[in-house]
Structure 1
Amino acid sequence: MLLVLLFFCVGWQTTPGEAEVVKSFEETCPRYFFRKTPPKISLTASYMVPICQRYKNQYRYATLYDQKKRIPIYSAYIYNPGRAKRTDNWMVEPQLVGSGLRPEMISEEDLIQKFHVTKAALEESQAVLQDYKNLIDYNRGHLNPNSHQPDPEAKKSTFTLTNIVPQFTKLNGGAWQTYEQQTMQTKTQGCKETFAVVGAVPGNNYIAGRRVNKPSHVWSTACCYIDNNHLRSWAIIATNDKDQVEELTLGQLEEKLTKLYQQNSVLLFDIDCPRQ
């Protein structure tokens, strides 16, 4: 397959549609990226679909979704935690099925019953709830966690299967959760705005009869804006079979991901964000 560099600053076409499934992050939902600059990762474009995640007629965050492996490669969002309660009402992305469908996430049941989408068409386009039933040692791991969102509707928007990967259960509820809930709170002290990108490296194993890829690694990084003269960054990575995270600089994470994605280079933020 031809490898192309996904800058998303030019309008390459995707077959599903142009609203929530978009031509370019920079054209539709650039605010979720530091300096309005999406990550630069060289991947196979035919399966990579940029989604501006929309819920209740408002964009909430951005996700690059791999339709072949049925997992997100990353979700990018602004860190803004709130105390609203979470609700586990899982949704899917209609426009991954067809461009004529509504440009907003919806439950599987409503998509099938109200919009007459067949179950087979839905399952072909993306992961579904059944894929995550009866897993052993793995569960649904958010890339953009609901705890990093400010209000009930923003939190609900994270419960889409396009924002989920199979994550090692002990990691998801252990060291990864500690990072999400404690480390991020500590590191963002003094930040006026914090841009986060959380991602997954596809692995060699699958769940659900080889429908959904099980990532080999999960990673997270943030770029904190303090003022025009002061920025800081941090990062972690974890193998997806141990309850342990490795703390890194942004530059170190980009070097690791360059090797793991088998690319020439990976840049997760605009060059102004410090790498050390």
Structure 2
Amino acid sequence: MLLLLLQVLASCLWLGHSEVVTSFESSCPQFFFQNTPPNEALVPENPAWICQRYKNQYYFATLYDMSRRIPVYSAYIYQPGSGKRPNTWLIEPQVSVLSSYPKTMERERTLSKEIKITLEEIGKHQAVLQDYKNLTGLNRGHLNPNSHHSDFNSRTATFTLTNIVPQNEKLNGGAWNNYEQQTMIKNTKGCNNTYVVVGAVPGNNYIANGRVNKPSYIWASACCELNTKDRKTWAVIAENDRDEVKSLTLGELEDKLTQLYGRSRVSLFDSACPRK
């Protein structure tokens, strides 16, 4: 009986944890239009599929590149709201080859003190706070921005380093911020649901002594449900060394990413989302 109680307690405690999964379709498909994530053309050599969970709820999905220590993309449903900006940074020890590590989205110091995981172990397959210190001309750029979420917990969930890339400081605070705050509001008028995929194309440069890749491009795409039959889409892309965002159709972005990744044809959404 004691063993049974311990098993029940353990299962309850794990309800609040993020998860590295084998596929988004089987674990957190709700963040993708028609439960269809981008195709395999974007999958890196050393991937981690993360259902980002915080305080007993999924908030978004991230395909993470464990070799370059940056997200490939984050996918979420656009639900903006006003509120306080979180003042914390989280890491996810489940991005590890060691299954014994806990899967809680947590602060570095908490894991170090309470779970006794060293910073070296944490950083084997993901970025840590030290990687983003003493940057010049770059800062921590969200793919899934906290302002696109409606409550404090959902905004806090975006402050995980698996959702962050080294982004040009001027771009992050300038043209990209204008896209996130102004263009998205304008484009989503009349939308019942807006599914978003935001990503980063790996570049040739690194920060933190070669640990974390600096993306060459940042891109975003959206598929909006106007009603049960009609949908509209849009997309943007920005070079990560210029304060400029270029507007594209979804089809044009997929063409550009197919060229940049140099693999098979890129598809970001289900075919029901218009490409023009």
Normalising by structure 1, what TM-score? 0.91
SS of residue matched to 2:41: strand
Distance between the aligned counterparts of 2:42 and 2:220, measured in 1? 19
SS of residue matched to 2:256: helix
**Greater mean alpha carbon deviation, residues 99-108 or residues 169-178:** 99-108
RMSD: 1.3
**Which residues of 2 match residues 4-153 of structure 1 at below 5 A?**
20-43=19-42, 46-97=45-96, 98-153=98-153
Q: Which residue of 1 aligns with 2:10?
A: none
Q: Which residue of 2 aligns with 1:229?
A: 229
State the shift of 1:42 in Å.
Answer: 2.1
State the shift of 1:47 in Å.
Answer: 0.5
Distance between the aligned counterparts of 1:44 and 1:144, measured in 2? 18
**Which residues of 2 match residues 198-213 of structure 1 at below 5 A?**
198-213=198-213
State the shift of 1:264 in Å.
Answer: 2.0
Distance between the aligned counterparts of 2:244 and 2:219, measured in 1? 12
Structure with higher Rg: it is 2
State the shift of 1:104 in Å.
Answer: 2.7
State the shift of 1:112 in Å.
Answer: 1.3
State the shift of 1:226 in Å.
Answer: 1.0
Normalising by structure 2, what TM-score? 0.91
Distance between the aligned counterparts of 1:54 and 1:45, measured in 2? 22
One-letter amino acid of the counterpart of residue 253, structure 1 = L
Distance between the aligned counterparts of 2:110 and 2:205, measured in 1? 31
Structure 2 CA distance for partners of 1:60 and 1:44, relative to 1, 3 Å: closer
One-letter amino acid of the counterpart of residue 77, structure 2 = I
Distance between the aligned counterparts of 1:63 and 1:104, measured in 2? 15
SS of residue matched to 1:267: coil
State the shift of 1:119 in Å.
Answer: 1.5
State the shift of 1:96 in Å.
Answer: 1.2
Distance between the aligned counterparts of 2:146 and 2:153, measured in 1? 10
Alignment check: 8 A CA contact 2:237 2:247 kept = yes
Distance between the aligned counterparts of 1:166 and 1:41, measured in 2? 24
**Greater mean alpha carbon deviation, residues 217-226 or residues 80-89:** 80-89
Q: Which residue of 2 aligns with 1:156?
A: 156
State the shift of 1:227 in Å.
Answer: 1.1
One-letter amino acid of the counterpart of residue 221, structure 2 = T
One-letter amino acid of the counterpart of residue 173, structure 1 = G
Q: Which residue of 2 aligns with 1:3?
A: none
Percent identity, aligned pairs only?
A: 56
SS of residue matched to 1:82: coil
Q: How many residues align?
A: 259
Q: Which residue of 1 aligns with 2:172?
A: 172
**Greater mean alpha carbon deviation, residues 31-40 or residues 79-88:** 79-88
Distance between the aligned counterparts of 1:28 and 1:159, measured in 2? 21
Flag the structure with higher helix content.
2
What do the CA deviations read for 1:142-196 (whole angstroms, capped 9, x no partner)?
0000000110000000000000000000000000000000000000000000000
The runs of 5 or more residues in structure 1 that have no matched partner are 1-17
What do the CA deviations read for 1:99-146 (whole angstroms, capped 9, x no partner)?
233333100111111111112111112100010001000000000000
Distance between the aligned counterparts of 2:43 and 2:219, measured in 1? 20
SS of residue matched to 1:172: helix
Alignment check: 8 A CA contact 2:44 2:65 kept = no
Alignment check: 8 A CA contact 1:41 1:263 kept = no
One-letter amino acid of the counterpart of residue 91, structure 1 = L
State the shift of 1:203 in Å.
Answer: 0.3
SS of residue matched to 1:244: coil
Distance between the aligned counterparts of 1:30 and 1:140, measured in 2? 27
What do the CA deviations read for 1:32-74 (whole angstroms, capped 9, x no partner)?
0000000013256540110000111211100000000000000
SS of residue matched to 2:85: coil
One-letter amino acid of the counterpart of residue 66, structure 1 = D
Q: Which residue of 1 aligns with 2:260?
A: 260
Q: Which residue of 2 aligns with 1:238?
A: 238
